[in-house]
């Protein structure tokens, strides 16, 4: 009698690959790319005041930070795969809620999608550092950004076009894209990730591991790089469209500018090659210095709106360069035994920047126009440039060399991610 065998792919899930994580990130990019230019317009339309918009983003940033820090605590009682699915489902719910169009619905939709982003991101990082070797982090990040390029490039402009055609349209597309992301995640069968060892005394609250983070200067500096880079993106994404509307350039310019800027994602493999030929330190220094100078010029060119917009668009190219390199100082310093906790800490940079940026903008707008926000961003980027001078010249090279010699560490630091 012929013996039937169960296919191998049914008995054992295939090992997650760099390409699999890139596909997962690419589907997320479609959803977020569509809405990233729509929410500022919808918020400004509903609230009619840039300062009030800043206040709302400030409060949402605090709530998002709290939610992100709670993820490791929740994951101790709820399987990680269900935390990820629940987070992605919040994105779907938030997008559908925003279709209502009223100010409370828009604010609630933004809150849910922001929480969803940070929850799925913490889980995504934990999966990457479970399955991707440390020497593959650069290739994983570049592949993730390359696969995300279409969503981030076409999404912002398409979102604005759809919003003007029929306001619910971009929210429906984002909900569909997120549903596809959930399907891809389930097909990948990532489960709950790998486990190295159980902690002898697990923390009783989600903030207990912050003390360990604060005692490691390399982690603190790396986190600051990511947070300041994200502040630059916040200013570009939220306040460039508002500046364009107030300057009489129209409500489509912000989305179009963001789409053009995100086209730089297609050249991230070349950025990675340039970084490898020089160094992580040189790349980080270049990204922060040039972007800071261009933001500063934009703040001085408020009387010539198109000059300011062009300077900001040029600065965004170097923010993409920082997306490739700016998180590596943190990633290369994380210990395998602390990967889940430090993944949550690293993810908090997005929420902290979501608090710092609108909070600072709120204060700036009390005494200056929107161009004053560009000046504040320039100051932060230049500060990061000064701090980056303390990075080791050979940062990352020793790990790569040891990897080539046969070191196979599959429990690396969390994967880098988009600025927003």
Closest among 166, 162, 157 to 252, alpha carbons compared:
157
Residue 303 confidence (pLDDT):
82
Per-residue pLDDT tens digits for 319-348 = 988 887 766 777 666 666 666 667 667 777
Q: Show the tokens assigned to 353.
A: 């920047």
How confident is the model over 6-31, as pLDDT tens digits? 444 444 455 566 666 777 778 888 88
Which of 155-159, 172-176, 309-313 has the least mean pLDDT?
A: 155-159
Count of residues making up the chain: 420
Neighbour-count burial of 282, counting CB atoms closer than 10 A to its CB (0-12 exposed, 13-18 middle, 19+ buried) = middle
pLDDT at 131: 67
Q: Answer for the pair 299, 309: CB distance below 8 angstroms, yes or no.
A: no
N- to C-terminal Cα separation, the chain: 59
Average per-residue pLDDT in the chain?
Answer: 77
pLDDT tens sequence across 338-380: 666 676 677 778 778 888 888 898 889 888 888 999 999 999 9
pTM: 0.72
pLDDT of residue 15: 57
pLDDT (tens digit, 9 = 90+) per residue, 220-264?
888 898 899 999 998 998 889 889 888 888 878 878 888 888 787
Angstrom distance (rounded) from CA 212 to CA 174? 38
* Cα 347 to Cα 332: distance, rounded to the nearest angstrom: 15
Instruction: Write b or e for each residue in 4-25: b if 16 or more Cβ atoms lie within 10 A of its Cβ, otherwise e.
Output: eeeeeeeeeeeebebebbbbbb
Domains and CATH numbers, the chain: 16-194+207-404 (1.20.1250.20)
Q: Indicate the helix (H) or strand (E) that contains 381.
A: helix 371-388
In this model, does residue 409 exceed pLDDT 50?
A: no
Secondary element (H or E) of residue 189: none
- Report, as an integer, the average pLDDT of 30-52: 85
């Amino acid at each position: 009698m012929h013996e039937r065998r169960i296919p191998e792919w049914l008995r054992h899930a295939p090992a997650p690959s760099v390409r699999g994580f890139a596909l997962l990130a690419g589907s997320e990019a479609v959803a977020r790319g569509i809405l990233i230019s729509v929410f500022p317009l919808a918020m400004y339309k509903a609230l009619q005041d840039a300062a009030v918009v800043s206040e709302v983003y400030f409060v949402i940033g605090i709530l998002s930070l709290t939610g992100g820090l709670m993820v490791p605590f929740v994951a101790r009682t709820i399987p990680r795969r269900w935390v990820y699915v629940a987070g992605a489902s919040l994105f779907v719910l938030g997008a559908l809620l925003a279709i209502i169009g009223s100010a409370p619905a828009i604010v609630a939709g933004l809150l849910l999608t922001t929480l969803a982003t940070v929850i799925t991101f913490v889980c995504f990082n934990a999966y990457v550092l479970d399955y991707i070797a440390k020497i593959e982090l650069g290739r994983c990040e570049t592949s993730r950004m390359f696969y995300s390029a279409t969503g981030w490039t076409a999404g912002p402009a398409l979102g604005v076009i759809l919003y003007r055609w029929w306001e619910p349209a971009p929210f429906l597309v984002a909900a569909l894209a997120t549903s596809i992301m959930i399907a891809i995640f389930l097909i990948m069968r990532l489960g709950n990730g790998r486990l190295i060892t159980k902690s002898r005394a697990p923390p009783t609250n989600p903030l207990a591991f912050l003390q360990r983070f604060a005692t490691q200067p390399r982690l603190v500096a790396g986190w600051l790089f990511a947070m300041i880079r994200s502040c630059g993106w916040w200013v570009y994404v939220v306040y460039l469209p508002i500046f364009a509307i107030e300057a009489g350039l129209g409500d489509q310019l912000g989305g179009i500018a963001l789409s053009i800027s995100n086209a730089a994602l297609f050249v991230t493999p070349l950025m990675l090659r340039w970084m490898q030929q020089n160094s992580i330190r040189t790349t980080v220094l270049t990204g922060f210095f040039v972007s800071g100078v261009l933001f500063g010029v934009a703040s001085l060119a408020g009387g010539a709106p198109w000059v300011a917009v062009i300077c900001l668009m040029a600065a965004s190219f170097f923010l993409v360069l920082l997306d490739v390199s700016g998180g590596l100082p943190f990633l290369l310093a994380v210990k395998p035994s602390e990967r889940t906790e430090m993944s949550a800490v690293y993810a908090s940079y997005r929420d902290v920047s979501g608090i710092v940026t609108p909070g600072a903008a709120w204060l700036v707008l009390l005494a200056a126009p929107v161009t004053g926000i560009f000046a504040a961003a320039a100051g932060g980027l230049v500060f990061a440039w000064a701090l980056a001078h303390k990075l080791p010249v050979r940062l990352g090279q020793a790990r790569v060399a040891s990897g080539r010699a046969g070191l196979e560490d599959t429990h690396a630091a969390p994967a880098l991610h988009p600025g927003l």
